[in-house]
Structure 1
Amino acid sequence: MMDSPSRVFAAILPAAGRELAGDEKEQGLEVRTVTRDGPGSRGRREVRVTGRAEVCCPADRASMRICVGYSKESVNEVTNSVSRRLEYILQALRHNGIGDGDTSVRRFLHRDEALYRLDVEVVVTFSDFEKMEQVCRILLEKLDKSVSVGTPQFYHSAECLGQTRQRACVSAVDNAHQKASKVCQLLGQSLGSPLLVKEEETKEWRNEEEEEEDGGGGQGPAPPPHFPHIPTITASSQVSVSFSLRDRSRKNL
């Protein structure tokens, strides 16, 4: 007479008040311990875990427009005048480690009644925000009203988004592994090697609207309206992980 399959189910909830590393947040966990006996099987047992995690990341890039415009009675005069200012802008960028690959320049010459006007726009991509602030200060001090420095537009690079998604997935797997280990200890079992890891769900959203409504989450006075806002993005991952399960009593056999 064959033994019927036996199953043991266990559930565990996230511990209240548990602190997570960095910006990670555990959403929930479901654990099942399954014992299967049947023809050709020697009682393979598994612990199946579903875990979630969230990871937040601020924008890592900023795009800024720098504009210079001048009007003169001749094309040569206006070209020379604007070119000097343009060269100063590019030199300030180079001195702060901004390469040609991170800058683009557009020129527009037109006639305004009796005068020629030349407008130049320089678009710069920054990955170091301190250098960006330094460049802004230098240009505003040296070129004064002849230069217009726009408000930086912050965004996430493709590399940053990819790394954030990976961190969320790895954190979800790590959370699941830790919980599975605790359940095994509780049941007097020993956690074996992973059998299957499956990412079941991924989500991501931008938090700039929530942060603006919060006014900084009560951490202090709200920044001035003209102060550049750095958006953050949150990526979440839900994974299902299966581990082999073995008795502690048989561990050393």
Structure 2
Amino acid sequence: MDNQTRVFAKILPAAGGDYVGNENEQAVEMRALNRQSPSNRVREVQVTGTAEVCSPADRASVRVSVANSKESVNEVTSSVSRRLEYILQAVRQHGVSDKDTSVNRFLHREADQYHMDAEVVVTFSDFEKMERVRSVLLEKLDKSVCVGTPKFCHSAECLSQMRRRACVSAVENAQQKACEVSQLLGQTLGPPLLVREEETKEWKNEEEEEEDRGTGGQGATLPIHLPCTPTITASSRVTVSFSLRDRGRKKL
């Protein structure tokens, strides 16, 4: 009798996503169905696997502000533009792409003075390079500019990779569990029959930052609190079914 096999695949919406930005992620269910006679039914073992993957922020943005007041529009524009050009030049010299830099200007009049506010926002993927740029601007421009504290975030690529790693690790854990169970039962673990991602979760880890804020007098030796790099943890829970074979059964 011919043994026919059908394979089905369907896309399921991800369940339990707690972190915004997870709505585009999808879970995949694969199922293999064998048409076999009742005397030759496939024996299987079904197990669950879980995994957690933690990822620190891979991006940081720094806001540099410039402001000045003059009696004429040309004077205030020229003064602010010179400092903006120095900031942009310093950023370029450290290998930051123009697409990771934005500039905004705002001109208004107060009494007999023209006042211009401007800001440069730079996004870094190299945090050491970011600190070098901040040091240069603070040293060279001093009080004529305001260099803000870095704000850390996760890129879409970082979050997507973290979710995939969590799912793959959960499947690996399920396979290891099924292998140990099959050995206990004196069986040989066969190929997977079903893989389903049952639940995914994500959460921000802010405990370290809160602990730093609550140290009180213990941190008195530091003039300021160092910025805390946030992390996000992704968890995945999967269900996997494997076929079982007798150890003495020969492969065809």
Q: Sort the TM-score into its range (normalised by shorter chain).
A: 0.7 to 0.9
Residue-by-residue CA offset, 1:117-145 (whole Å, 9 max, x unaligned): 21111111111111111110000000000
Q: Aligned equivalents of 1:63 and 1:114: distance in 2?
A: 35
Q: Aligned equivalents of 1:65 and 1:119: distance in 2?
A: 13
**Match of residue 150 from structure 1:** 148
**Match of residue 209 from structure 2:** 212
Give aligned-pair identity as a percent: 70
**Match of residue 50 from structure 2:** 52
Report the residue type matching 1:246 in the other structure: R
- Quote the offset at 1:87 in angstroms: 0.5
- Quote the offset at 1:97 in angstroms: 1.3
Query: Residue 118 of structure 1: which of 116, 120, 129 is its match?
Result: 116
Q: Aligned equivalents of 1:252 and 1:119: distance in 2?
A: 76
Q: Aligned equivalents of 1:121 and 1:213: distance in 2?
A: 29
**Match of residue 176 from structure 1:** 174
Q: Aligned equivalents of 1:78 and 1:252: distance in 2?
A: 84
Equivalence map 1:156-167=2 (5 Å): 156-167=154-165
**Match of residue 101 from structure 1:** 99
Equivalence map 1:25-36=2 (5 Å): none
Is 1:92–2:87 an aligned residue pair?
no
8 Å CA contact retained: 2:101, 2:120: yes
- Quote the offset at 1:213 in angstroms: 4.1
Unaligned runs of 5+ in 2: 1-35
State the TM-score, normalizing by the size of structure 2. Answer: 0.79
Residue-by-residue CA offset, 1:137-187 (whole Å, 9 max, x unaligned): 000000000010111111111111111111100000000111111111121
Residue-by-residue CA offset, 1:86-136 (whole Å, 9 max, x unaligned): 100000111111111111111111122222121111111111111111110
The 3 A distance-change label for structure 1 pair 165 and 86 is same
**Match of residue 69 from structure 2:** 71
**Match of residue 235 from structure 1:** 234
Count of residue correspondences: 212
Unaligned runs of 5+ in 1: 1-37
The 3 A distance-change label for structure 1 pair 188 and 224 is farther
Residue-by-residue CA offset, 1:47-93 (whole Å, 9 max, x unaligned): 11101001100111112211111112221111111111110000011
8 Å CA contact retained: 2:49, 2:170: yes
8 Å CA contact retained: 2:66, 2:119: yes
Q: Aligned equivalents of 2:195 and 2:187: distance in 1?
A: 21
8 Å CA contact retained: 2:212, 2:225: no
User: Which structure's relative contact order is higher, taking Cα pairs within 8 Å and 6+ residues apart?
Assistant: 2
State the TM-score, normalizing by the size of structure 1. Answer: 0.78
**Match of residue 24 from structure 1:** none
The 3 A distance-change label for structure 1 pair 225 and 206 is farther
- Quote the offset at 1:225 in angstroms: 5.0
SS at match of 2:243: strand
**Match of residue 7 from structure 1:** none
Query: Residue 200 of structure 1: which of 198, 201, 226 is its match?
Result: 198
